[in-house]
Structure 1
């Protein structure tokens, strides 16, 4: 299914669904970050997706990371909360989604890098390599928040 991202676009279609979601900044011991190249928009992105009924957002983050990248993770913090009503995703089936997303910080604990039906490539990148990658602004903001240390304190 195709997807088009609209952010701050006055011509964007109106949202017709509100969806809780999780994304994940996965950082290994060398400081590299795990990214996937999405099949639906050909952009590099953090692993993540929509929460299912019966699971918590942290469980969603762990599941989505495993499904999309092949890597098992342990959640160690929160990068931030992202709720921009001016950012919607329009899908080919007519859904126009506004997401309420928590971006988690995680460390890898197992698995092997693998593409999924949602990705065409999955790789580890050094933080300095990220700037040259094609990425939607909302994902770049999450990555930049992590790189710049703009994360809430965990209590």
Structure 2
């Protein structure tokens, strides 16, 4: 018998402003642009973890509107849940994890982000449809 599989679960919020632009954070550790998010704690609900992570990385309180995608990094065993969110309150604030913010147009997404993160954002922007379910190897979808 093999040991039970273990996965890390992350959450991310795709936040769109009134001009249709998406909030991206620039991570301090690798310089990459991504939607705000992070790893769920064992003892928190998905919604609570999403709200905590978005607040920690942006200073914004959000409300999830809908689940837009489920993504598995096959190499790292990370399952990511991505939600379209609306801003409830707050003000953008830099922090130890984030070096910059940017409101990006859809046409800029693929040039700013890795393919796997760009797909998460574009999936969220693609209207009211069933959540996407995709797997990738950390760089490309499989």
Shorter-normalised TM range? 0.7 to 0.9
Please give the alpha-carbon distance, in whole angstroms, between the structure 1 residues aligned to 2:128 and 2:92: 28
> Does structure 1 retain, via aligned residues, the 8 Å contact 2:29–2:97?
yes
Please give the alpha-carbon distance, in whole angstroms, between the structure 2 residues aligned to 1:18 and 1:31: 33
Aligned to 2:48: 59
Runs in 1 of length 4+ with deviation above 6 angstroms?
none
Instruction: Return the TM-score normalized by structure 1.
Output: 0.74
Q: What's the RMSD between the two structures over aligned residues?
A: 2.0
5+ residue gaps in structure 1?
Answer: 1-15, 89-97
> Does structure 1 retain, via aligned residues, the 8 Å contact 2:83–2:124?
no
> Does structure 1 retain, via aligned residues, the 8 Å contact 2:60–2:89?
yes
5+ residue gaps in structure 2?
Answer: 132-142
Give 1:138 shift: 1.6
Please give the alpha-carbon distance, in whole angstroms, between the structure 1 residues aligned to 2:104 and 2:57: 16
Give 1:47 shift: 0.6
Count of residues in correspondence between the two structures? 127
Give 1:119 shift: 1.0
Aligned to 1:35: 24
Aligned to 1:69: 58
> Does structure 2 retain, via aligned residues, the 8 Å contact 1:113–1:123?
no
1:116 counterpart = 2:105: no
